[in-house]
């Protein structure tokens, strides 16, 4: 297991140093998500495939941003859903109605983001 970079709790690091720590923590989160979450890997592959398609299409820069940004939103929501699931699993592995509800709501958020992305692609490609 990699040691997580930290700075002393009572210190106030230089803003640039704090920014570097924040970037490191974010990249670590992406690495963990890629390693442990199959859905993240699948959605990232879709994004990787969508980028050249979006640049190949004869659309405006704003439409291209909407195409890629809508799928980027799917990635963001999936990361949040994964964080919810990890937190719920950390609290306890026994089945609890509220744990299931939290996981289902997170999954519903991902589903809604995917529907929004599909709708965005459909609208831009048909007009």
- Hey, which residues are catalytic here? 78
How far are the Cα atoms of 17, 18, 22, 26, 72 from residue 11, in angstroms, in the given order?
12, 11, 15, 21, 35
| Structure tokens belonging to residue 54 | 């979006």
CA–CA distance, 16 with 20 (Å, rounded to integer): 6
Among 29, 50, 51, residue whose Cα is nearest residue 40: 29
27 to 3, 23, 47, 50: CA distances (angstroms)? 14, 6, 18, 22
Largest CA distance in the chain: 56
């Amino acid at each position: 297991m990699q040691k997580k970079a930290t700075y002393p709790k009572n210190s106030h690091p230089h803003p640039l140093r704090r920014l570097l720590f924040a970037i490191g923590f974010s990249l670590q989160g992406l690495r963990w998500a890629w390693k442990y979450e199959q859905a993240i890997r699948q959605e990232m592959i879709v994004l990787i495939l969508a980028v050249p398609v979006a640049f190949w299409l004869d659309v405006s820069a704003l439409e291209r941003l909407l195409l890629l940004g809508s799928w980027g939103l799917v990635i963001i929501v999936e990361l949040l859903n994964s964080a919810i699931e990890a937190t719920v699993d950390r609290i306890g592995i026994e089945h609890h109605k509220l744990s299931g509800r939290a996981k289902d709501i997170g999954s519903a958020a991902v589903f809604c983001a995917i529907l929004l992305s599909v709708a965005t692609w459909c609208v831009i490609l048909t007009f």
